[in-house]
Amino acid sequence: MHGGSKYRQNSSRINKVFNPIVDMTLIQTGDMLGLGAKNEKWLLPPINTNSIQPDYKFYGNKISPLFAHYPSSIKEKGTSTIIKMLKKLGLSQNFKHSKVKVKWRNQIARMNQCDVYIEMFNMEQDGRTGSKVYGSWGMSCLEAAALGKIVITNFLNIERYKLEYTDDCPLIICNTLKEFKASVKRLSKMNKQQITNLKKLTRKWVEDYHSYQAVGNRLKGFYNEVLK
CATH code of residue 130: 3.40.50.2000
Total domains present in the chain: 2
Residues 3 and 29: beta-carbon distance below 8 Å: yes
Q: Within a domain: residue 54?
A: no
Q: Within a domain: residue 55?
A: no
- pLDDT at residue number 121: 93
Residues 34 and 112 in one domain: no
Residues 196 and 217 in one domain: no
d(CA 74, CA 224): 40
d(CA 47, CA 94): 28
Residues 26 and 90 in one domain: no
Residues 179 and 88 in one domain: yes
CB hemisphere CA count around 134 (13 angstroms) = 25
Residues 36 and 86 in one domain: no
Residues 217 and 153 in one domain: no
- pLDDT at residue number 133: 54
- pLDDT at residue number 118: 98
Task: Read off the DSSP letter of residue 150.
Answer: E
- pLDDT at residue number 134: 56
**pTM reported for the whole predicted model:** 0.90
Name the residue range of residue 40's domain.
Answer: 5-45+212-227
- pLDDT at residue number 127: 46
Residues 41 and 154 in one domain: no
25 contacts: CB under 8 Å, gap ≥ 6: 1, 2, 18, 19, 37, 38, 39, 40, 41
Averaged pLDDT in 10-residue chunks for the chain of 228 residues: 88 96 94 93 95 97 96 92 96 96 97 98 58 72 98 92 94 95 97 97 98 97 92
Q: Within a domain: residue 194?
A: yes
